[in-house]
């Protein structure tokens, strides 16, 4: 048994992961043949490609439409439901047990809250599993039933990535979509049971290195991790294509940015209302936005003409 695994077990189940990770780190002399290193090195190119997909780059710049973010959340919901269903099923498998952290990592319940927030009570009828997500989900189920040890690659690709960029992505989404600061809609990014993501990743890497695998099995996991990256990129590309068909959304839930004088987001009434409900609220900007719509303009013109005619008749 590897020393760090032994140490974990001696610590017992209730020892916070931070303590275990700290001690593991002290002894950590990572070898190139360790699975954590093989994964990091072996997926470097895929990671770079994923970072450079248009969807991810746009997202990081805050260029994300609400409708697209909703679809991305639904895709994640299907993906994590499949992954966690298979991890649960295989939690006693020797390759899965050391990496099984339902309390700390599992995301399906958080994503359920997010889809409920975005799609409402009937979310189950209103969301669909896209083609690219379906292929990803089918692969996960196939592995869960036939090659559970390869689930390690999928868990690594998603959870390590989520722990690395979650906080930034959460803030970007909240700002771009004017989501409430209380966390509705971005539960996915919030790991309430992980107080120190860096330490937790350290523990996860140490656990990866305790798995009793020969070099061929490790290579298989790295190959599968690259496949997991590809599945993610296919979902991103699909989302990107869908995004191109979604008309530009007025920022701030229905109000054009530059109605009235200056930026509507600087209106304190609007900002406060946005923070509280996510809805547009300033009556001044709302009236201006309404008045700029062509059909409303026509009605206003007709009313003005009628008033002018009445005044002219009265004065005659």
Nearest distance from C-beta of residue 157 to ligand HEM, angstroms: 5
Give yes or no for a contact between 208 and 39, defined as CB atoms under 8 angstroms apart: yes
| Phi and psi angles of residue 235, each rounded to the nearest 5 degrees, phi first | -65, -45
Burial of 178 per CB tally in 10 Å (0-12, 13-18, 19+) = buried
C-beta closer to ligand HEM: residue 100 or 159: 159
Q: Are 68 and 243 in contact (CB under 8 A)?
A: yes
| Residues 6 or more apart whose Cβ sits within 8 Å of residue 70 | 115, 118, 119
Q: How far is the CB of 41 from ligand HEM (least distance, A)?
A: 9
Which residue in the shown chain puts its C-beta closest to ligand HEM? 161
Residue 76 or 289 with smaller CB distance to ligand HEM: 76
Closest CB to ligand HEM among residues 108, 255:
108
Q: Which residues bind ligand HEM (CB under 6 A)?
A: 39-40, 47, 50-51, 56, 60, 156-157, 160-161, 164-165, 201, 229, 232
Q: How far is the CB of 53 from ligand HEM (least distance, A)?
A: 7
Q: What is the DSSP letter of 258?
A: T
| Helices within the chain (DSSP H only) | 3-11, 17-27, 35-42, 44-51, 54-60, 66-89, 102-105, 108-119, 123-126, 131-146, 151-155, 161-177, 197-210, 215-245, 251-254, 268-277, 283-291, 294-315
Nearer to ligand HEM, 157 or 274 (CB): 157
Q: Cβ of 146: how many Cβ atoms within 10 Å?
A: 8
- Whether 110 contacts 184, CB under 8 Å: no
**CB contact burial 97-115 (16+ within 10 A = b; e otherwise):** ebbbbeebbbbbebbbbbb
Of 151 and 289, the one with the shorter C-beta distance to ligand HEM is: 151
Q: How far is the CB of 89 from ligand HEM (least distance, A)?
A: 23
CB 233, min distance to ligand HEM, A:
8
In angstroms, give the least distance from the CB of 303 to ligand HEM: 52
Residue (90 or 202) nearer to ligand HEM, CB: 202
Q: Which two tokens stand for residue 175?
A: 């700002």
- For residues 54 and 240, the answer to whether their CB atoms sit within 8 Å is yes
Closer of 129 and 267 to ligand HEM (Cβ): 129
Minimum distance from residue 164 beta carbon to ligand HEM (Å): 4
- Select 202 or 274, whichever has its Cβ closest to ligand HEM: 202
**Distance of closest approach, residue 63 Cβ to ligand HEM, in angstroms:** 13
Query: Which tokens hold the place of 164?
Result: 């690395």
């Amino acid at each position: 048994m590897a020393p760090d695994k032994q140490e974990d077990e001696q610590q017992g189940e209730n020892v916070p992961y931070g303590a275990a990770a700290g001690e593991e780190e002290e002894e950590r002399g990572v070898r190139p043949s360790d699975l954590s290193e093989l994964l990091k090195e072996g997926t470097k190119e895929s990671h770079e490609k994923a970072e450079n997909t248009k969807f991810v780059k746009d997202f990081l710049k805050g260029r994300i439409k609400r409708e697209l973010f909703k679809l991305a959340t639904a895709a994640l919901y299907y993906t994590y439901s499949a992954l966690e269903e298979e991890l649960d099923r295989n939690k006693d498998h020797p390759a899965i047990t050391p990496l099984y952290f339902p309390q700390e990592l599992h995301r399906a319940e958080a994503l359920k809250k997010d889809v409920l927030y975005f799609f409402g009570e009937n979310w189950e009828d209103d969301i669909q599993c896209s083609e690219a997500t379906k292929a990803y989900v089918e692969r996960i189920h196939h592995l869960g039933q036939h090659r559970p040890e390869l689930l390690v690659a999928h868990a690594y690709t998603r959870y390590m990535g989520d722990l690395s960029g979650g906080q930034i992505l959460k803030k970007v989404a909240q700002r771009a979509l004017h989501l409430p600061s209380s966390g509705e809609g971005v539960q996915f990014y919030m790991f309430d049971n992980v107080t120190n993501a860096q330490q937790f990743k350290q523990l996860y890497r140490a656990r990866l290195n305790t798995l009793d695998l020969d070099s061929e099995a490790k290579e298989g996991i790295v190959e599968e991790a690259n496949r997991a990256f590809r599945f993610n990129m296919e979902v991103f590309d699909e989302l990107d294509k869908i995004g191109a068909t979604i008309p530009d959304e007025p920022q701030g839930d229905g109000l054009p940015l530059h109605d009235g004088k200056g930026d509507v987001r600087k209106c304190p009434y609007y900002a406060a209302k946005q923070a509280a409900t996510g809805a547009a609220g300033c009556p001044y900007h709302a009236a201006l936005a309404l008045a700029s719509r062509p059909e409303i303009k026509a009605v206003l013109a007709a009313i003005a003409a009628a008033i002018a005619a009445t005044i002219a008749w009265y004065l005659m």
